[in-house]
Structure 1
Amino acid sequence: MYFNHVVERLSGRPAGRSGEAAAITCDTDGGEGSGDSSSLSYAELDLAARAVAVWLSEHCAPGERVLLLSPLGVELVKNVLGCLYAGVVPVVAPVPDGRDPHLSRATGIAFDAEARVVLTEASCLSAVHDWLSQDGMGELTCVATDAVPLGDPADWVEPRRDPGELALLSYGSGEGELVGTAISAAALGHGLRRTADALGLTEEDRVLSWLPPDQYSGLMAVLTALSVGATTVLLSPDRFRRDPLRWLELVHRHRITVSGGGPGAYGRCADAAAERGVTGLDLSSWRVAYTSTAMLDPATLTRFARVLAPAGFDQSALRVSYCLPEAGFLVSTTDPRPLLRTARVSAVALEKRTFAASTSAEGPVLVSSGRVARLDLRVVDPESGRPLPDRRVGEVWVRGDGLASGYWRRGGGTDLRFGATLDTGEGGFFRTGDIGVLDAGELFVLGRADSMLTVAGRTIRAHDVERELAERFPALAGHPASVFTVAVPRHEVVVVQELDRVDRDELRLLAGAVRSWLRRRTRVRFGSVVFLQPGQLPAVGGERDRRELVRALFAARAVHPVYEELDGDVRRLYREPTGHGVEVVTGDRVAV
């Protein structure tokens, strides 16, 4: 089993490469982290993991969940591997460093996973102790693994692990309900192999990751590199956020061959490089620059490649991938090629759930996520379970080796999404909740099913409406918006939009223009518009999370508009009756 190969790779039996080869190097030049400034070889990492495993074996039962609270760094990697070596389950959570989201998230994960042991490091120990005492979690055993004696590595005994046993529990980074994805040992092994093979990783590669370790993508980036014997360089996510060019500097310094991040990271990096220049950088070693398909604007990647071309960056390195923790991580990825495959499609056809080229310069531009990597992927009518032919839009379903076992202790939700059956009787599929289409063997992902606006039998991407609003109305450009539908009882579209303060007459005119455009664009009868001051929309993990939260806040009457115009049915259901067909709210919340 490939998972056992990972342990063997690290535990003194590396295939074809000396144990003295560099495994992990941390960048601590001006950045946060664990304080580890030296590299660890595979032999050193193996000994460290054995020591952690021996201690864990004395304090935990096999299969027990262990909470890991450390920044991205050598100590965290040691502890993740120590858990795997010991046959216990690592659960990586954000360090409870005083930031409210991190505090509440760490607490929620600890309770849901039923962890009794916390592994951290000396630099985080004070913050973790404060969190434990404040949240009444003093019964947890907390150990800084770089500050206390652990076990003797010579005492380590490799555990016997059944392929179906839980190996990892991942809670991701979303702002909604805490749901852990249960990854078995077999699923982890298949996911690592599929990802490594699809990206062509070998022991000669040098991989750089700055992705937060509590995200499954961050953890998989490190484990995949270790599974093939590659060298991994770690950059603090906080350091990247402060200085995106640090990413490029480390690619240059360490001759990195594989690294990536979300689409937004490429945009920030291109902006910084355009402003400060790339003189002195050599990026010619970078052969795989991966990113996710989620809300990807192809212009962002094209600009990134153009700005970095003088430093030797080759656009063919850009790889767009579709990844899911529930499917063992990588589902599909593009091949190396000079240009991304994009398609400008007809918005009218798309609304009718058909993939057809646009005959004009208008219409959304979709980016291919490439070919499916050793999984059975179908595009399915979500209501009937009927598989759809190419160029028909539906829900993406996948099955095959490497699927997660389900959601941790969520029987009902697991039954609905895992083990789904087509109307043909074929079973064992995972319903991704993503809307996509297959064309010429390549997957195009349109977005989440719950980010689609279903109006009068048509399906419209909320992201497209938000983008077009900013393009058509200069007053809205550069300000975030959330577009969603509410049932009253038919579906009506609501736009919640931030904008700079203008006088009431201008607000009235702008709201009227937006509603008129909304009626033409979505064919709703009225449409509703809510204007907020800048900074009012919640800053959460992504557009989908924000829409869900804003919809809930709107329904709970917890948004505070400077001005709003609501459809009569929407107003009657979600606002106190005022006797007017339109409710206008000023900054003082005086109804007009």
Structure 2
Amino acid sequence: MIAEASAAAGAATGSELSYAELDRSARTVAAWLSEQCVPGDRVLLLSPLGPEIVKNFFGCLYAGVVPVVAPVPTGRDHHLARATGIAFDSGARVVLTDVGSLSPVHEWLSQDGMEELVCVATDVVELGDPGDPVDVVRGPADAAVLCYGSAVGELVATEIGYAALEQGLARTRAAFGVTADDRLLSWLPPDNYTGLMNVLTALSAGATAVLMPTRDLARDPVRWLELVDRHRVTISGGAATAFARCARAVEERLPTGLDLSCWRIAYTPSTLLDPAVLGRFADAVAPLGFDPAALRTTYCLPEATFLVSSSTPGRAPVGTRVSATALEERTLVESERPEDPVLVGAGRVERLDVRVVDPESGRELPDRRVGEVWVRGSGLARGYWGHEVESRRSFDARLDDGQDGFVRTGDLGVLDAGELYVLGRADGMLTVSGRTLRAHDVEREVAERFPGLGAHRASVFTVPVGREEVVVVQEVEHHDLDELRSLAAALRSWLRRRTRVRFGSVVFLGPGMPAIGCDRARRALMRDLFVARAAEPVYEELDADVRRRYRPPLGTARRSHVRIAV
């Protein structure tokens, strides 16, 4: 993974790291780790995106230990809970961090009773001489890295082996045509598997990785464009929300003197993508030399060691308007009705075998029928760390005709003449009265239709009451009961007309709920809080059956434990 020594391996704000310097630093870390660990041990990496976490990551690989990247446990409750869950689940013995993160990391270790972990800030502690490369024996199937997420509804790590990591990176390099001349900019946090992929793809090609602190994008989206221009970045991307924020910022104040003609691939996930976002971004930055044909959509997941498919290069993605009614019946039918949704494809699958399958029967579905996306091929992950039952279920899937070796993604999708459309997580679907709705669509439409509800996103889920009943939970800033009563009535009425499903339960919570960026984790948290009566509403209107089941008289209520899925 080390290219010629004169090449720049990582460029952050004001600093550069050559491949020779990266190699020396990684060997220093590896030599120290070999005295603390044995091959296969897990090592927790707690640093923001920057050269230090890259050095430590490769130091782990050199030493034959398994890097586990987690969010720095700062004051955000979600980050604290996630870091703690990762630390305990992985069984890490050592924590590598940086001097800027050392204080909150030490405080977190003490607070959560993990003082026995060895914690080192590798940028200030003298670790010794790098010496010769560490001699370790690790097989191609042994774990190279653990990527944590909530693939099965709880915090789990996808275990990626050495061979799978190499093959997955090769697949990404081929899809994007990455060479040593490219410069890839990443701003995604390193504990996000896509952020990790960005850096590793660059370094495995001998290219240059430009590292932008994640917080800089939040503070000033135009900073992204400035760094693309300054470093002549050729490949960069991220969530559609980043493109939307950047477009708004440029529309308010067009930067001067920027040249984005170098940007040949600007990628974003296709799942739940509003194509208008990409169009707005392309229009906003066109005066800066950006080519709309650089836009690419992707479908990535850690179980497939990152990239599964990407849209056709040299052509901006376009959406296909489809019938909402047919989609609810799990069929793809084109539509001309302006109120129907628009889907954006994730491109054609070239190097993997992808099928759309009925998850109940294992039967492969024909084109234009919605089912679960299954993937087969080389370079796939091994399973979920420490979760044997879920690993067998998801990583050893078999079609009803006997074909085996498939990985179940948990995503719903549909194939149409080779084009893959990914509709979202299967557990993000609401099945009510024989109809299927996407929770994401309902939540988005609530935000668009009722801006008076504020900036907080609604959470939509179902609860069983002999049948599945939909509940809408919304955090609000104000507590005027008359206004909330009117909003609840209007919300229920509009949703009933829009979806033809009865929305009998609306719950308004006061401000202060944990800020969770993952839609799936946010819904799971709100559902757990609702079922356990663990969050006091400021106002709620409940279906009669829901009230009887979940709001019994206090004297008969059972105490519940709330499991927060992160």
TM-score by length of 1: 0.89
The answer to whether the 8 Å contact 1:479/1:498 transfers is: yes
| 1:542 maps onto 2:542 in alignment | no
**Matches of 1:525 and 1:138 in 2, distance apart?**
52
Matching residue of 1:586? none
Matching residue of 1:120? 97
AA in 1 matched with 2:183: R
Matching residue of 1:568? 544
- Deviations 1:105-129 (CA, angstroms, capped at 9, x unpaired): 2222222111111222233333333
Classify the secondary structure of the residue corresponding to 1:570.
helix
AA in 2 matched with 1:138: E
Matching residue of 2:9? 23
- Deviations 1:252-273 (CA, angstroms, capped at 9, x unpaired): 1010001111111111111111
Matching residue of 2:442? 465
Cα distance, 1:152 vs structure 2: 3.2
Matching residue of 1:273? 250
**Matches of 2:479 and 2:119 in 1, distance apart?**
53
Matching residue of 2:559? none
Cα distance, 1:316 vs structure 2: 0.9
| 1:315 maps onto 2:292 in alignment | yes
Aligned partner of 1:82 among 51, 59, 67: 59
| 1:390 maps onto 2:367 in alignment | yes
Aligned partner of 2:108 among 126, 131, 145: 131
Classify the secondary structure of the residue corresponding to 2:470.
strand
Matching residue of 2:382? 405
Of 522-531 and 137-146, the range deviating more from structure 2:
522-531
The answer to whether the 8 Å contact 1:174/1:541 transfers is: no
Classify the secondary structure of the residue corresponding to 1:52.
helix
Matching residue of 2:407? 430
Q: Cα–Cα, structure 1 residues 124 and 528, in superposed 2: closer, same or farther, change >3 Å?
A: closer
Q: Cα–Cα, structure 1 residues 503 and 60, in superposed 2: closer, same or farther, change >3 Å?
A: closer
Q: Cα–Cα, structure 1 residues 99 and 455, in superposed 2: closer, same or farther, change >3 Å?
A: closer
**Matches of 2:11 and 2:503 in 1, distance apart?**
58
Classify the secondary structure of the residue corresponding to 2:15.
coil
AA in 2 matched with 1:283: L
| 1:211 maps onto 2:188 in alignment | yes
Of 47-56 and 430-439, the range deviating more from structure 2:
47-56
Cα distance, 1:136 vs structure 2: 2.2
AA in 2 matched with 1:208: L
AA in 1 matched with 2:461: F
Cα distance, 1:437 vs structure 2: 0.6
Cα distance, 1:417 vs structure 2: 1.4
1:241-260 map, 5 Å:
241-260=218-237
**Matches of 2:551 and 2:363 in 1, distance apart?**
40
Matching residue of 1:352? 329
**Matches of 1:479 and 1:562 in 2, distance apart?**
15
Of 117-126 and 364-373, the range deviating more from structure 2:
117-126
Classify the secondary structure of the residue corresponding to 2:38.
coil
Cα distance, 1:341 vs structure 2: 2.4
**Matches of 2:318 and 2:357 in 1, distance apart?**
23
Matching residue of 2:527? 551
- Deviations 1:340-361 (CA, angstroms, capped at 9, x unpaired): 1211110110011100011321
The answer to whether the 8 Å contact 2:49/2:213 transfers is: yes
**Matches of 2:471 and 2:157 in 1, distance apart?**
32
Q: Cα–Cα, structure 1 residues 334 and 231, in superposed 2: closer, same or farther, change >3 Å?
A: same
Matching residue of 1:361? 338
| 1:531 maps onto 2:503 in alignment | no
The answer to whether the 8 Å contact 2:78/2:514 transfers is: no
Aligned partner of 1:341 among 304, 318, 322: 318
Aligned partner of 1:370 among 347, 362, 369: 347
Cα distance, 1:564 vs structure 2: 2.2
The answer to whether the 8 Å contact 1:259/1:289 transfers is: yes
- Deviations 1:527-576 (CA, angstroms, capped at 9, x unpaired): 2222344x355421222221111111111123333332221111111113
Q: Cα–Cα, structure 1 residues 504 and 40, in superposed 2: closer, same or farther, change >3 Å?
A: closer
Classify the secondary structure of the residue corresponding to 1:153.
coil
Matching residue of 2:562? none
1:180-259 map, 5 Å:
180-259=157-236
Cα distance, 1:500 vs structure 2: 6.0
Matching residue of 1:453? 430
TM-score by length of 2: 0.93
- Deviations 1:42-97 (CA, angstroms, capped at 9, x unpaired): 11211211121122222211111111122211111111011111111111112223
Matching residue of 2:281? 304
| 1:290 maps onto 2:271 in alignment | no
The answer to whether the 8 Å contact 2:296/2:316 transfers is: no
**Matches of 1:364 and 1:563 in 2, distance apart?**
32
AA in 1 matched with 2:272: M
**Matches of 2:281 and 2:7 in 1, distance apart?**
33
The answer to whether the 8 Å contact 2:77/2:514 transfers is: no
Q: Cα–Cα, structure 1 residues 368 and 360, in superposed 2: closer, same or farther, change >3 Å?
A: same
**Matches of 1:20 and 1:526 in 2, distance apart?**
62
**Matches of 1:489 and 1:96 in 2, distance apart?**
41
Aligned partner of 2:393 among 416, 432, 440: 416
Aligned partner of 1:103 among 55, 80, 86: 80
Aligned partner of 1:262 among 239, 243, 247: 239
- Deviations 1:302-325 (CA, angstroms, capped at 9, x unpaired): 111110000001111111111001
**Matches of 1:158 and 1:306 in 2, distance apart?**
53
- Deviations 1:201-229 (CA, angstroms, capped at 9, x unpaired): 11000111111011111111111100000
Cα distance, 1:511 vs structure 2: 2.9
**Matches of 1:424 and 1:176 in 2, distance apart?**
29
Q: Cα–Cα, structure 1 residues 124 and 506, in superposed 2: closer, same or farther, change >3 Å?
A: closer
Aligned partner of 1:380 among 352, 357, 364: 357
**Number of positions where the alignment pairs a residue of Structure 1 with one of Structure 2:** 554
The answer to whether the 8 Å contact 1:270/1:307 transfers is: yes
**Matches of 1:391 and 1:238 in 2, distance apart?**
41
Matching residue of 2:563? none
**Matches of 2:120 and 2:530 in 1, distance apart?**
44
AA in 2 matched with 1:462: A
The answer to whether the 8 Å contact 1:354/1:393 transfers is: yes
The answer to whether the 8 Å contact 1:91/1:168 transfers is: yes
| 1:439 maps onto 2:425 in alignment | no
**Matches of 1:575 and 1:265 in 2, distance apart?**
40
**Matches of 1:161 and 1:433 in 2, distance apart?**
30
Cα distance, 1:468 vs structure 2: 3.0
Cα distance, 1:499 vs structure 2: 4.8
Of 262-271 and 135-144, the range deviating more from structure 2:
135-144
The answer to whether the 8 Å contact 1:190/1:402 transfers is: yes
The answer to whether the 8 Å contact 1:537/1:550 transfers is: no
AA in 2 matched with 1:569: D
Cα distance, 1:520 vs structure 2: 3.7
Superposed CA RMSD: 2.1
Identity among equivalent positions (%) equals: 66
The answer to whether the 8 Å contact 1:332/1:371 transfers is: yes
The answer to whether the 8 Å contact 2:454/2:477 transfers is: no
Classify the secondary structure of the residue corresponding to 1:371.
coil
Cα distance, 1:104 vs structure 2: 3.0
Classify the secondary structure of the residue corresponding to 1:558.
coil
Cα distance, 1:474 vs structure 2: 5.5
**Matches of 1:233 and 1:101 in 2, distance apart?**
28
The answer to whether the 8 Å contact 2:282/2:292 transfers is: yes
**Matches of 2:9 and 2:448 in 1, distance apart?**
47
**Matches of 2:475 and 2:43 in 1, distance apart?**
42
**Matches of 2:425 and 2:212 in 1, distance apart?**
30
Cα distance, 1:506 vs structure 2: 4.7
Cα distance, 1:99 vs structure 2: 3.5
**Matches of 2:150 and 2:462 in 1, distance apart?**
25
**Matches of 1:134 and 1:560 in 2, distance apart?**
27
Gaps of 5+ in 1: 1-5, 28-36, 579-592
Q: Cα–Cα, structure 1 residues 575 and 286, in superposed 2: closer, same or farther, change >3 Å?
A: same
The answer to whether the 8 Å contact 1:172/1:214 transfers is: no
